[in-house]
A and B are shown apart, each in its own frame.
Chain A
Amino acid sequence: MSGLNSEPRFILATDVGSTTTKARFFGKVNGEWKFLASGEAPTTVEKPVEDVTKGVRNAVKEVEELTGHKIIDYSTEELKFIMPYRGNKTGIDVYVSTSSAGGGLQMLVMGVVKSITAESAQRAALGAGAIVMDVIAVDDGRETHEKVNIVRFLRPDMVLLAGGTDGGDKTHVLEMAEVLAVAKPKPRFGVSYRLPVIYAGNKNAREDIKRILSSDFFDVRVVDNIRPQIEVERVEPARNAILELFMEHVMAHAPGYEKLMKLTSTDIMPTPAAEGLMIRTFAEMKGVNVLGVGMGGATTNVYSVFDGRFLRTVSANLGMSYSIGNVFKEAGIDNVRRWIPFDMTDEDIMSIVYNKMIRPTTIPMTLEDLVVEHAIARESIRMAFNHHKYLARELKGVKKERTISDIFEEVKAEETYIDMMRVNYIIGTGGLLSRAPRRAQSMIILIDAFQPIGFTYVMQDSVFMIPHLGVLSKLYKEIALEIFEKECLVPLGTVVAGKGFDALGEKVADVELTFDDGREENVVLRFGEIVRISIPYNVEVEVSVKPSRNFDFGAGAGKPVSRKVRGGVVGLVLDGRGRPIYLPASDKERRKLVLGWFKSMDLYPHQLMNRVEV
């Protein structure tokens, strides 16, 4: 790690993603921090180029090509940056990086009771930005030999084992340790590598755990109990141990990371950990409730800060590149098709999805391709958010029968503490959203996937730099926040939506807009329609909603509500489509309705939309 500069001028940040390595370059121009350029290249973590620094070099080279700023020291074969800044567009002061390459941090979680210790352990693992491969618990409904077999063939980077309250019964947690001991799971990297196991269970069982998990195969780290008492959850020690081990073991064993670690000014963070850190920092600074989503190639990560509680979940195999086929599989053809206004056969839709899966770096060139990818994106976020809500629940102290497949089912509103009516901001990031040709496309994807209720402000990452800023915030919080607010977040606008249901065309609400200059505008919002009103970010508008008796906009069914809201790149969106969003059963009517939404939101080029026949 290099020394720190107290007043940096140029900062380079990279995210080594599962498919693409993304370089972002920032500089202080006339006293203000600016995003200067980006560069991207395929990640090189596996054969034939087993060295992650090669992909980083290619991505940074693109930055050099675009800016004329010299960053790489070409005097050596090995990747080296010119540090510190030497003037005359040469050199950088800070280099930071995140990584989710090689499938990110993959963990196996074990606990005693599925809805108590196993659930807490799962929250800790997800909180550290890990992908949870499976959750094994005494009461998960599987026989011991089945558990052993599952553990045997998974190749986790590490295991988190929890169970029992301090001083309570230790038999069950020892039983889980034994499952692990007899299965001897093989770690992903190399045979000489001992599998790291973090033990965060009953403190009285620590010695027995060490005895059962032989040091020939396992590297056991003991931390404080995750559930010292049934009503107390303490995930921080386990989460910190996971991040420490991630650096020590996983990163150090990945090809080329050792070299990359020497170049960075602070530890490399898992991408979801950095993304979550930035969103959390923003929410805490503003004192608001925020929902965030990071759409990656392999995973979809959801973050929430609600009444001060932070939760991060990483949904493995829900992503837009090589797991796009899995999103399709989990969502089902009907859920994907509902967002598409074209008359397409299953084969047409699937050809687009599966050809993208096998050539994940390609970019849609036709409207049909783009709309299908956007449909998949909605479904990916919707399912990842369900997963998130499943864990965003109050602590459970009673046994509940659930299986891992339940996470894709709709979570009942009363089960989660995330009250959509009280979410102030939704923030989206990830390649698909950042690359969406029109910002209104990102906004509708986020609205359709999260289905916010009441008044919610929607923002998106301009060119995918939230993870980069997250890791930077560990060193320079002020700089990271300045860039985050000024250069990273694109203010899309406010969505106003009511909870309720009616017949198509019935009145949802009378909406009155009062602008700063005294100008007024009235809108009758009808069921099944969406209305976009262009209002720039710097304009504030008083929005008064008088809902009909079937609809609730925040004050209760039929009760009027007024709020001052801001516009944005997209503006104000009045959403009268109901919650959950209503879609007719008839395919023709559905397509007509969806096409109407596309047109009123001005989502896609007119000349292309006009050729769509319903």
Chain B
Amino acid sequence: MSEESFAYTPGLAVVPRTYVRKVRSLPVKGEILVKKGQEVSFDTIVGRCYLEGAPYVVKLAEMLGIDPEEISNYVTVKVGDNVKQGDVIAKYSALFGLFKKAITSPINGVVESVSEVTGHITIREPPRVIDVSAYIKGVVEDVSPGESVVIGVPAAYVQGIIGFGGETHGTLEVVVSRPDEVLDESKISEAHAGKVIVGGSLATYEALNKARKVGVKGVIVGGAKITDVEKILGYRIGVAITGRENLGYTLILTEGFGKLPMSERAFKIFVENDGNDAALSGVTQVRAGVIRPEVIIPLKGSVREEGMEPLGEGRMKVGSVVRIIRYPYFGAVGTVVDLPVELQEIETESPVRVVKVRLQDGRIVTIPRANVEIISE
């Protein structure tokens, strides 16, 4: 028997009190609009940049039936000129003016290049303004001029397993009384417009639809049927890279697809913070070192406190409290009683490294180590 396991199964972070730091980066170099020490709210614009517009290529030589190196004889604009859609950018005349042709710009933009190698003119659309918000409410801890800011805040922090839709924020309202209660449409009303609602084990299709109709900002729930999620999205999910969906709100599943009670620990955090403002992001990327969706609930007081529970992964030991994350025991919580080193056979006959867990009802079950997550060490 081994006291410690090296088969790390990083659990989802579910902590009632921690210090959250968020780096808010501009996609390209730009301007940072806040100062170190400044208090910011969810919607405060912390930085602005300009994203290059899309380029359009006009195949001039081909259109005029001339050789590429000849185009400068016909082009009427120079690199750097502003042009409007329909402006003449090249004129062609032959046979003493008998044949005339004018080429116009397809877009509003700036002439970027006139190439005698390919005979093409490139016109680029005007740049787009990109504003980056603070996303969370807190204090600017650090500024990298032109690039990013770090915002910090003491907060409750809950990661989900998969999310849909991007960043948003709103007031939390727990609309079920138990973590295994179903979130159906009767629990959602007009009063939830602009709020983030928290459900229990399953959000029904009707509930997911009603949430959009009444205009909630977010839905946090244990599970939803995969077929319902796809119906709401309008397409089939491929790879687990999400966050750009256009649902009308941000949906975070804390456990997975199906009817799965929200973990007691997460549910308790939401109940304790009922009525508080929360930031949430549905962005998920299931790759090595995954990005999981998150809920950040800033806590009162902006000064960093000592002794708060840190974020991070634990090591499994005898006595660790774990949750099983695959059928047939999905969602069950128990205590590790043994971590055998040798491979053991499970029902499917697979020889795997296992962990023996005493469930809350007293049964001891043997589970592949890969199928549990650590709740606390």
- Compute how far the CA of A436 lies from the CA of B351 in the bound complex, rounded to whole angstroms: 9
Mask of A436-451 contacts with B, CB within 8 angstroms, 1/0? 1110000000000000
B226 in complex: contacting residue of A45, A61, A212, A350, CB < 8 Å: A350
Asked whether, in the complex, the Cβ of B326 is within 8 Å of the Cβ of A325, the reply is no
Asked whether, in the complex, the Cβ of A359 is within 8 Å of the Cβ of B256, the reply is yes
With an 8 A cutoff between CB atoms, is A403 at the interface?
A: no
With an 8 A cutoff between CB atoms, is B57 at the interface?
A: yes
Residues in B whose Cβ lies below 8 Å from that of A605: 347-349
With an 8 A cutoff between CB atoms, is A144 at the interface?
A: yes
Residues in A whose Cβ lies below 8 Å from that of B187: none
With an 8 A cutoff between CB atoms, is A211 at the interface?
A: yes
Asked whether, in the complex, the Cβ of B55 is within 8 Å of the Cβ of A183, the reply is yes
> How many of B's residues come within 8 Å of A, CB to CB?
62
Asked whether, in the complex, the Cβ of A366 is within 8 Å of the Cβ of B6, the reply is no
Asked whether, in the complex, the Cβ of B347 is within 8 Å of the Cβ of A144, the reply is no
Indicate the member of A360, A361, A369, A436 with the most B CB atoms within 10 Å: A361
With an 8 A cutoff between CB atoms, is B102 at the interface?
A: no
Residues in A whose Cβ lies below 8 Å from that of B55: 145, 148, 182-183
Q: What distance in Å separates the Cβ of A529 from its nearest Cβ neighbour in chain B?
A: 25
Q: What distance in Å separates the Cβ of A352 from its nearest Cβ neighbour in chain B?
A: 8
Indicate the member of B124, B162, B312, B329 with the most A CB atoms within 10 Å: B162
**Which A residue's beta carbon lies closest to that of B256?**
A355
Mask of B272-303 contacts with A, CB within 8 angstroms, 1/0? 00000000000010111111000000000000
B288 in complex: contacting residue of A46, A184, A347, CB < 8 Å: A46
> How many of A's residues come within 8 Å of B, CB to CB?
76
With an 8 A cutoff between CB atoms, is A346 at the interface?
A: yes
Asked whether, in the complex, the Cβ of B367 is within 8 Å of the Cβ of A152, the reply is no
- Compute how far the CA of A359 lies from the CA of B367 in the bound complex, rounded to whole angstroms: 15
Q: What distance in Å separates the Cβ of B290 from its nearest Cβ neighbour in chain A?
A: 8
With an 8 A cutoff between CB atoms, is A65 at the interface?
A: yes
Asked whether, in the complex, the Cβ of B287 is within 8 Å of the Cβ of A365, the reply is no
Mask of B342-377 contacts with A, CB within 8 angstroms, 1/0? 000111111110000000000000011011000000
Asked whether, in the complex, the Cβ of A366 is within 8 Å of the Cβ of B327, the reply is yes
A437 in complex: contacting residue of B68, B236, B348, CB < 8 Å: B348
B289 in complex: contacting residue of A46, A212, A321, CB < 8 Å: A46
Residues in B whose Cβ lies below 8 Å from that of A183: 55
With an 8 A cutoff between CB atoms, is B33 at the interface?
A: no
Q: What distance in Å separates the Cβ of A75 from its nearest Cβ neighbour in chain B?
A: 20
Query: Contacts A363-B326, A367-B348: A182 and B118 contacting too (C-beta < 8 A)?
Result: no
- Compute how far the CA of A326 lies from the CA of B345 in the bound complex, rounded to whole angstroms: 30
Asked whether, in the complex, the Cβ of B350 is within 8 Å of the Cβ of A178, the reply is no
Query: Contacts A46-B288, A317-B238, A354-B257: A365 and B348 contacting too (C-beta < 8 A)?
Result: yes
Residues in A whose Cβ lies below 8 Å from that of B227: 346-347, 350
Selected interface stretch from B7-15, B208-216, B261-269: B7-15
Q: What distance in Å separates the Cβ of A482 from its nearest Cβ neighbour in chain B?
A: 25
With an 8 A cutoff between CB atoms, is B2 at the interface?
A: yes
| Apart from A46-B287, A174-B117, 20 more pairs, CB < 8 Å | A18-B288, A19-B287, A48-B311, A62-B7, A178-B115, A179-B57, A182-B55, A322-B240, A322-B286, A325-B239, A350-B226, A355-B326, A357-B240, A357-B286, A360-B286, A363-B326, A364-B326, A365-B329, A365-B348, A367-B347
